[in-house]
């Protein structure tokens, strides 16, 4: 078994060695196709992390028309808590609002120096239950809150949610279409490479089948050749994407997301890296199978 | 060893290369297949190692019906059949040694077993000193002997040869014939297509004659 595998591997490598141009062309196309896919995957991954992070924080802020007294406040909190969508309620007094605003301004805190202590309205911050964090969940809650006239204004992160959602779907669709197209091109080129190898060895292949080689014995080295090309292509794609990520992508993304407070930009998770290699390998195997089906016959 | 029942092979609608051929070749037999050019000799041999499929009829080899075999089984069946092709079919990019070793390599035989057998059979055909050469560096007669060595290296039960002495001078023809005779003496069934009357007269054996794809005579001598 091991001896046979080694024999096939030797033949596959020898085939590739004897046609370096074809082999590199085929590896390069696999690399390009998979690198494009991986690049988009990094983008989508990080952007959806941002939205997930953001949606964990999603809360509805209820601004009050006037500062409530203690009794009013307790009644409000009781009632808000009773809503099934709400997990917790925090009361933010105008002074607290002013403080945290000042902190956020940092060096520019002079801007609010002259302002009265209650120039910001009092508010309730509602933390939503996990299942209500979706767009429709938030909207329904907001509809319910609007019934209460003392709740002057309601703020929730709907715009953000929608905008990020749109960007992610765009990237996803774009990545899939482009990557899919390139994968198809790569498949075609790998299949063609193997076909040309088969053609170069047709004499040997014919004799091989005539002296009793089993179908798989004939196919194995070429499958291995395709699979190896795909795997190497996948490996290069991973390296290229990793390089791009370190040289440019990481800092670009970090700047882009600074405002939203995402902790870390990261590369593809290990599982995705493995998928990438597997995709390359399968691409190669499949490409070579396509050619083998048409060119290797044991008997008419 | 070989049984044919109502075997026919047509190319297209009107070209009948073989018509309704029924024949039996017992184990250990030596049979000449003769007939004028175009009589269907090569076609018959190609059908025997399943390089072509019959239009009608059955082929039994060693009790196995070729029509019922899948690709893998055909491959395994071919390991019992040594074929000497009219055009030799040697692999020009491989050495003589590699060419003769090829059928054993394909069977996954161990390296020392392969080298032993290859050396023995090359010695038998008298070309052990040329094992590092390439086919194109050898004469026609030598290439023919290499082709025979490759057919014999698997110790076949059935040896099939298509005009093995076709374009060789008489001296070489004698050497080649000796190889077939000795294989037959060791128990291999031999089927030899030829239209070389002289050769048949020198080594008289059973003669199956074809004419326009039909069996015209079957004479024991
Ligand atoms: N692959 C083929 N396609 C069409 N006709 C063929 C093919 N092979 C053989 N024939 C025809 O079949 C007949 C028998 O050919 P063949 O078996 O080669 O005769 P032989 O070997 O006795 O000279 C001939 O008429 C030949 O032209
Ligand atoms: Mg012929």
- CB atoms under 10 Å from CB of A110, counted, come to 9
Closest C-alpha among B47, B51, B42, B65 to residue B8 = B47
pLDDT at A58: 57
Q: Look up the ipTM and state it.
A: 0.91
- B209: domain CATH number is 3.40.50.300
The pTM of the whole model exceeds 0.80: no
A282-295, pLDDT tens digit by residue?
A: 999 998 898 888 77
Q: Which residues line ligand 1 (CB under 6 A)?
A: B 11, 15, 17, 35, 37-43
- Residue B127 has a pLDDT of 94
**3-state secondary structure at position B217:** strand
CB contact under 8 A, A211 and B51: no
Decide if B52 and A300 are in contact by the 8 Å CB cutoff.
yes
Residue B207 lies in a domain: yes
- A211: nearest CB among B53, B93, B103: B103
For residue B181, is it within any domain? yes
Residue B54 inside a domain? The answer is no
Three-state SS string across chain A, please?
CHHHHHHHHHHHHHHHHHCHHHHHHHHHHHHHHHHHHHHHHHHHHHHHHHHHHHHHCCEEEEEECCCCCHHHHHHHHHHHHHCCCEEEEEEECHHHHHHHHHHHHHHHHHHHCCCCCCCCCCEEEEEECHHHCCHHHHHHHHHHHHCCCCEEEEECCHHHHHHHHHHHHHHHHHHHHHHHHHHHHHHHHHHHHHHHHHHHCHHHHHHHHHCCCCHHHHHHHHHHHHHHHHHHHHHHHHHHHHHHHHHHHHHHHHHHHHHHCCCCCCCCCHHHHHHHHHHHHHHHHHHHHHHHHHHCCCCC
Q: Which residues contact B201 (CB under 8 A, 6 or more apart)?
A: none
Kindly list the distances between the CA atom of residue A299 and the CA atoms of A209, B70, B143, in Å, as whole numbers in the listed order.
Answer: 8, 9, 26
Q: Average pLDDT of chain A?
A: 81
From chain B, the residues in CB contact with A204 under 8 A are 91, 93-94
Number of domains in chain B: 1
B→A contacts (Cβ < 8 Å), by residue, are: 49-53, 71-72, 74-79, 83, 89-94, 102-103, 106-108, 150, 154
- pLDDT > 90 fraction of chain B, expressed in percent and rounded: 81
> In CATH, what is the architecture of A59-156?
2-Layer Sandwich (3.30)
Q: How many CB pairs under 8 A join A and B?
A: 64
The residues, ordered by sequence, that sit 6+ positions from A182 with a Cβ below 8 Å of its Cβ are A29, A32, A33, A36, A37
Beta-carbon contacts of residue B6 (< 8 Å; ≥ 6 apart)? B20, B21, B22, B56, B57, B58
**What are the strands, taking DSSP E only, across B2-77?**
2-11, 15-25, 30-34, 56-61, 64-65
Bigger pLDDT: A178 vs A295:
A178
B6 within a domain of the structure (yes/no): no
| Residue ranges making up the domain that contains B202 | 28-42+72-219
Q: Which of B72, B76, B83 is nearest residue A210 as measured by Cβ atoms?
A: B83
The domains of chain A are located at 2-54+161-295, 59-156
What is the crossing angle of helices B140-152 and B111-124, to 10°? 130
Once rounded to an integer, what is the mean pLDDT over residues A241-248?
A: 87
Interatomic CA distance for residues A188 and A156, integer angstroms: 50
For range A190-210, the mean pLDDT: 86
Which tokens belong to B111? Answer: 């390296």
Pocket test for ligand 1, best of B16, B34, B40 (most atoms within 8 A of CB): B40
Quick one: pLDDT at residue A116? 78
CA B54 to chain centre: 18
Taking only the tens place, the pLDDT of each residue in A48-63 is 776 666 666 657 788 8
Predicted confidence band at A181 (pLDDT cuts at 50, 70, 90)? confident
Is B124 inside a domain boundary?
A: yes
The DSSP bridge partners found for residue B56 are B8
């Amino acid at each position: 078994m091991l001896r046979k595998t080694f024999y096939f591997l030797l033949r596959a490598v020898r085939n590739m060695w004897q046609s370096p141009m074809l082999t590199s062309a085929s590896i390069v196309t696999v690399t390009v196709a998979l690198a494009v896919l991986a690049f988009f995957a990094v983008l989508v991954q990080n952007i959806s992390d941002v939205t997930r992070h953001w949606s964990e924080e999603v809360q509805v802020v209820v601004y009050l028309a006037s500062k409530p007294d203690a009794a009013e406040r307790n009644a409000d909190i009781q009632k808000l808590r009773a809503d099934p969508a709400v997990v917790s309620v925090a009361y933010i007094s105008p002074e607290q609002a002013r403080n945290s605003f000042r902190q956020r301004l940092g060096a520019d805190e002079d801007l609010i120096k002259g302002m009265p202590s209650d120039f910001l309205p009092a508010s309730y911050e509602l933390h939503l239950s996990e299942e209500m964090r979706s767009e429709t969940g938030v909207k329904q809650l907001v509809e319910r809150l609007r019934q209460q006239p003392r709740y002057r204004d309601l703020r929730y992160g709907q715009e953000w949610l929608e905008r990020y959602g749109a960007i992610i779907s765009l990237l996803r669709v774009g990545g899939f279409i482009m990557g899919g197209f390139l994968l198809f091109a790569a498949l075609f080129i790998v299949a063609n490479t193997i076909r040309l190898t088969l053609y170069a060895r047709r004499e040997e292949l014919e004799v091989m089948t005539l002296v009793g080689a089993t179908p798989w014995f004939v196919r194995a080295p070429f499958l291995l050749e395709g699979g190896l090309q795909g795997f190497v292509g996948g490996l290069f794609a991973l390296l290229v994407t990793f390089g791009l990520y370190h040289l440019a992508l990481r800092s670009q993304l970090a700047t882009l997301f600074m405002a939203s407070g995402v902790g870390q930009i990261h590369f593809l998770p290990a599982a995705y890296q493995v998928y990438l290699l597997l995709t390359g390998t399968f691409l190669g195997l499949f490409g070579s199978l396509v050619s083998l089906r048409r060119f290797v016959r044991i008997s008419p | 060893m070989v049984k044919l029942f109502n075997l026919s092979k047509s190319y297209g609608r009107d070209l009948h290369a073989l018509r309704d051929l029924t024949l039996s070749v017992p184990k250990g037999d030596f049979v000449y297949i003769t007939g004028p050019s175009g009589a269907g000799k090569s076609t018959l041999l190609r059908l025997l190692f399943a390089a072509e499929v019959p239009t009608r009829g059955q082929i039994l080899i060693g009790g196995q019906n070729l029509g019922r075999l899948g690709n893998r089984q055909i491959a395994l069946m071919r390991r019992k059949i040594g074929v000497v092709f009219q055009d030799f079919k040697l692999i020009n990019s491989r050495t003589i040694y590699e060419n003769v070793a090829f059928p054993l390599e394909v069977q996954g035989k161990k390296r020392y077993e392969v080298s032993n057998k290859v050396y023995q059979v090359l010695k038998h055909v008298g070309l052990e000193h040329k094992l590092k050469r390439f086919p194109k560096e050898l004469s026609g007669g030598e290439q023919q002997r290499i082709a025979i060595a490759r057919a014999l290296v698997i110790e076949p039960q059935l040896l099939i040869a298509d005009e093995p002495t076709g374009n060789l001078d008489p001296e070489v023809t004698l050497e080649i014939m000796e190889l077939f005779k000795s294989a037959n003496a060791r128990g291999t069934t031999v089927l030899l297509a030829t239209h070389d009357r002289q050769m048949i007269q020198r080594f008289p054996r059973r003669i199956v004659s074809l004419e326009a794809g039909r069996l015209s005579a079957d004479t024991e001598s």
